[in-house]
């Protein structure tokens, strides 16, 4: 399966998202065929301590067979690696290995690896090409597509970053077989999110069919939803903010928990809280809440937080979607349909409560 990402205003180069079982074994062959990577001599593979032992060897062997040099960089697993310290450590590692502008990076892993590697690629030597090879469901359907990269700082999540589109994205569904049920469920939060904002049909498929029976098709459907939104609004000034459904509250919960609550679990809680509030305010029908909660239950995702509304509100004040005294919130209005609404920051507490 191939999904083409194109930017009509030519703000970034187009690229392909390839979805195929076993595709990581063809990494070298595929990258060698891309015109945008024709000058690359060395690929620096960035992975984490969990993923590296599973797939670094396969990807490195494929690259070497295609005639490339390979450098490997392994980071600790987990959200805490999306830090300034890890960012500068990776930058220094590239410099020590004499990585130049004729080289490129590969993000091999989940969303943390992709965000960190992408931000490094956007800024090291003022920009190197990079390739996304996501190995988690969350990264395949969401974070590897669209070019958002960045790191966290103590004040909040993703507050430092850059837009950097990948040269290509290689999704190998076989890598999902090594995920724990908890990490797989974490990715399902973003799958459900895409259905809530854009596709009632996807929601029905998730309700009625076993997920593992048509996983490549589910990945493709999600990638197309995100592709369609990103192509219209690459730099997140309008429609792309729909992809933040559940994220204002979700990011606040992650921060409050010191990232002990995973991204998918936090977003699930955020979606649930906003949808319940929308029903109470008569903005959307009850079926939005009931369908969402059925799906969260089916995929073992939470719908309630262990923090007070006041704590969540305070943590959400540093959200990057805030401008002065207002914040853009994503509100469901029907199944498969959400809207952007600018609300006074003082009213956010009502939606959280």
pLDDT value, residue 8: 74
Concatenating the DSSP letter of every residue in 301-349 gives -----SS-HHHHHHHHTT-TTEETTEEEEEEEEETTEEEEEEEEGGGHH
Q: Which residues of the chain have pLDDT under 50?
A: none
At residue 6, the pLDDT reads 87
Task: Tell me how far apart the alpha carbons of residues 95 and 111 are, in angstroms, rounded to a whole number.
Answer: 24
Amino acid 237: pLDDT = 86
Q: What is the pLDDT of residue 96?
A: 96
| Rounded to 5°, angle at Cα 8 from 5 and 10 | 90
**Residue 228: CB atoms within 10 Å:** 12
Residue 138, token pair as written in the block = 């969350």
How far is Cα 198 from Cα 159, in angstroms, rounded to an integer? Answer: 26
How far is CA 173 from each of CA 15, 60, 83, 223, 248, rounded to the nearest angstrom?
19, 19, 28, 13, 29
pLDDT for 123:
97
Rg of the Cα atoms in the chain: 20
Collect all residues with Cβ–Cβ distance below 8 Å to 152 and sequence separation of at least 6: 79, 82, 83, 158, 159, 160
Identify the pLDDT of residue 321: 66
- As separate numbers, helices (DSSP H) first and strands (DSSP E) second, the chain gives 13, 12
- How far is 300 from 141, CA to CA, in rounded Å? 18
Task: Give Cα separations from 296 to 8, 187, 279 (angstroms).
Answer: 36, 12, 17
Q: Which residues contact 247 (CB under 8 A, 6 or more apart)?
A: 267, 270, 330
Are the CB atoms for 137 and 236 separated by under 8 Å? no
Per-residue pLDDT tens for 165-210? 999 999 999 999 999 999 999 999 999 999 999 999 999 999 998 9
What's the confidence (pLDDT) of residue 351? 87
Give yes or no for a contact between 294 and 275, defined as CB atoms under 8 angstroms apart.
Answer: no
- pLDDT (tens digit, 9 = 90+) per residue, 200-240? 999 999 999 899 888 999 999 999 999 999 998 888 888 99
The span from the CA of 231 to the CA of 244, in Å, is 16
């Amino acid at each position: 399966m191939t999904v083409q990402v194109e930017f009509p205003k030519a703000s970034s180069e187009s690229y392909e998202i390839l979805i195929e079982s076993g595709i990581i074994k063809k990494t070298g062959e595929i990258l060698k065929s891309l015109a945008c990577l024709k000058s690359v001599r060395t690929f620096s593979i960035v992975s984490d301590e969990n993923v590296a032992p599973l797939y670094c060897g396969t990807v490195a062997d494929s690259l070497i067979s295609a005639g490339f040099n390979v450098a490997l960089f392994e980071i600790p697993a987990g959200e805490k690696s999306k830090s300034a310290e890890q960012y500068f450590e990776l930058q220094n590692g590239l410099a020590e290995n004499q990585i130049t502008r004729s080289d490129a990076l590969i993000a091999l892993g989940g969303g943390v690896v992709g965000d960190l590697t992408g931000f490094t690629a956007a800024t090291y030597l003022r920009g190197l090409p990079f390739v996304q090879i996501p190995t988690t469901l969350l990264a395949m359907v969401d974070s590897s597509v669209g070019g958002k990269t960045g790191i966290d700082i103590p004040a909040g999540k993703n507050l430092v970053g850059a837009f950097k589109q990948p040269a290509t994205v290689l999704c190998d569904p076989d890598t999902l077989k090594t995920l724990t049920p908890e990490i797989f469920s974490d990715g399902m939060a973003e799958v459900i999110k895409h259905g809530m904002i854009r596709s009632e049909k996807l929601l029905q498929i998730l309700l009625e069919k076993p997920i593992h029976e048509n996983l490549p098709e589910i990945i493709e459907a999600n990638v197309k939803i995100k592709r369609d939104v990103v192509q219209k609004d690459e730099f997140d000034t309008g429609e792309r903010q729909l992809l933040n459904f559940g994220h204002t509250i979700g990011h606040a919960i992650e921060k409050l928990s010191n990232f002990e609550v995973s991204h998918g679990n936090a977003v699930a809680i955020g979606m649930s809280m906003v949808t319940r509030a929308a029903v109470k305010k008569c903005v959307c029908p009850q079926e939005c809440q009931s369908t969402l909660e059925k799906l969260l239950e089916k995929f073992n995702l939470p719908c309630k937080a262990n923090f007070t509304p006041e704590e969540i509100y305070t943590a959400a004040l540093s959200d990057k979607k805030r401008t002065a005294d207002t914040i853009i919130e994503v509100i469901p209005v029907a199944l498969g349909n959400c809207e952007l609404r600018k609300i006074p920051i003082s009213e956010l507490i009502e939606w959280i409560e």
